[in-house]
Amino acid sequence: MSESEKGPSLSIREWAEDDRPREKLLRHGEHALSNAELVAIIIRTGTRGRSAVDIGRELLHRFKSLRAMSGVDIAEFREVPGLKDAKIAQIKAAVELGRRMLSEEKSDDEPVRHSSDVANRLMPIMRDLKKERFVLLLLDRKNVITDIINVDHGTVDQANPHVREILQQTLRKNAPSIIVAHNHPSGSIRPSDQDKAFTRNLVIAAFATGVTCFDHIIIGNNRFFSFADEGLIGTYVAEAKRNV
């Protein structure tokens, strides 16, 4: 009997051993399992009348896909019967590990040469978020990323990064150059007037402290906007030089 044929009232402990997700994985490998079975292994146990696989099926039905689940807020998970905080934490941790694994495909030792180098690294961890996240990337003198710092979590509409905080973090770690990035939960990559004003202020303030701001990247739905590629960073740097 396959896992899809089992009624919701049957506990996984009552299944044939070869059909239990954990035993099936160990015997046949993770690729033999359905998405619902893999989710079931993460949440471990079901509730009265509902197996862990049943809960896994409901999660996938409710949120449509594994990728969509990566952007689900904790409050939305709590609406699913049988999901308590411990199980939610396990799901969120597994999803975050998956995102970080994708972001690590680019070697940490490779210098940043193009805006796409940064965008491709950040896209897996930022494109599906339902709130704005603002990150600061510190670079060394070879333009290798040495650290990625979460500066601020905003509302659905707007993050509120502070220029002073960014520069304090940069100077504290003696980074000669930086790149900043944030996501637009709407999926749009068009910079707002606030995005432009913030970037201008950051570039000018960084120049005054001897720090180079190479770029500000906006992450959308598999697309990105680069202030450097559009010539805006160069415009702001020229303004900073005129103010000296």
pLDDT of the residue at 7: 47
Residues 199 and 236 sit within 8 Å (Cβ to Cβ): yes
Give pTM, 2 decimals: 0.67
Tens digit of pLDDT for each residue in 63-103? 887 777 777 888 888 998 888 898 889 888 888 787 777 66
Query: How high is the pLDDT of residue 198?
Result: 94
| 3-state secondary structure at position 143 | coil
Is residue 240's pLDDT more than 80? yes
Half-sphere exposure of 37 (CA within 13 A, CB side): 20
Residue 107 has pLDDT above 70, yes or no: no
Residue 47, φ and ψ in degrees, nearest 5: -130, 180
Architecture of domain 106-242: 3-Layer(aba) Sandwich (3.40)
Would you list the domain boundaries of the chain?
3-101, 106-242
Q: Is the pLDDT of residue 58 over 80?
A: yes
* Cross-strand bridge partners of residue 144: 111
Q: Give residue 141's pLDDT.
A: 95
pLDDT digits (tens, 9 = 90+) for 161-210: 889 999 999 999 999 999 999 999 999 999 999 999 999 999 999 999 99
pLDDT band at 236 (very low <50, low <70, confident <90, very high): very high
Mean pLDDT of the 126-139 span? 90
Residue 133's beta-bridge partner residues?
153
Please tell me the distance from the alpha carbon of residue 31 to that of residue 219, in angstroms, as a whole number: 31
DSSP 40-80: HHHH---BTTB-HHHHHHHHHHHH-SHHHHTT--HHHHTTS
Q: DSSP 3-state assignment of 48? A: coil
Q: How many CA atoms lie within 13 A of 173 on its CB side?
A: 19
Contact predicate 162/170, CB 8 Å = no
Written as six digits, the tokens of 129 are: 């978020």
Express each pLDDT in 16-28 by its tens digit.
555 688 888 888 8
**pLDDT at residue 104, as a whole number:** 65
Cβ–Cβ < 8 Å for 184, 140: no
Q: What's the pLDDT score for residue 60? A: 86
pLDDT of 205 reads 96
- The chain-wide mean pLDDT, for the chain, equals 85
